[in-house]
Amino acid sequence: MSNLNALNDFLAVKIDDYHECIDMLEHDFKLDDVIGNIRFHHLKRDGNGRPMVKALAEMLYQYIIDYCIASKNRPEPLTSRQAAQLTRDARRLFRHPTISTGKPDQTGEAGEALLFFLTEAVLRAPQLVAKMELKTNNRDEVKGSDGIHIKWNEADNLAEFYFGEAKLYQDVNAAITSALKSIDDFHNSEMYKHEFSIITKHFKYQNEVVKNEIVNMIKLGEPGPNASINHTCLIGYDWERYKSIAPVELNKKFQQYLLDDSKNIVEKLNQKFSTFNRKYLKFEIFFLPFPSVSEFRNEFNAALD
């Protein structure tokens, strides 16, 4: 039995917390030219019918210690004073941009935190490296992918490494195009070699046995016979239905509206994948429409501040 069966012990995000403010459209969407899965998520709505944007931002804030700081660098269990200090340390790693009507947040950090949350909650793939902690300046961007996670596929005897791309755009097609370009650039520059190396240097957990088994899956910066490169993609976008449909009508037909629009988005996604040159890669794609991605970023920054 592989020691990687212990990976579930490293998961921080609780499934119940995911279900507090996010739901998923039940439909079997297909990728035509690559292997992977498409999931259309949506925000739950509060008792007044409002999408739970603020609640999601607050939920992500609850996980900033887990997201930002390696468990091997913090005591367990935490005292209240230690938790307060680590929360302060984690907050300092974010950029805290000055936001105004003409100057929206463009950092991408809200999307990266959300992708961490979804990857752990939905895929049950724990984070391998707390990349935020590696920043030497809170004004810096995280280099490489937007997150590194892993899942042990016992049926195939395969360690599945997930490198993340989070894109929050007003336009869904622009977000898809940007994500695929970033992934292509990631491989053109062989950035995955760097990502594999930081797993070795900055493995998040205390367990040396699991760390060594993971490292042994990597051969000279490449995945070995029992490892695969996968990509998680978060595509967040503005959904005009929130503004163009009366709230009462939206409540009645929300799932149908989302399904209709999702079919069109998947068709465009498959068109883009038809010319994608790296069809050996595997994908897990999370779509999440917002009333406004700028509003979500603002709420996330407000939670941090």
Q: 244 pLDDT band (50/70/90 cuts)?
A: confident
pLDDT in tens, 26-42: 999 999 999 999 999 99
Per-residue pLDDT, 101: 52
241-248 average pLDDT score: 81
212-226 average pLDDT score: 95
Task: Find the domain containing 171 and state its range.
Answer: 3-304
174-179 average pLDDT score: 96
How many domains is the chain partitioned into structurally? 1
The Cα 109–Cα 96 span in angstroms is 10
46-69 average pLDDT score: 95
Per-residue pLDDT, 123: 98
pLDDT in tens, 76-106: 899 999 999 999 999 999 986 665 555 555 6
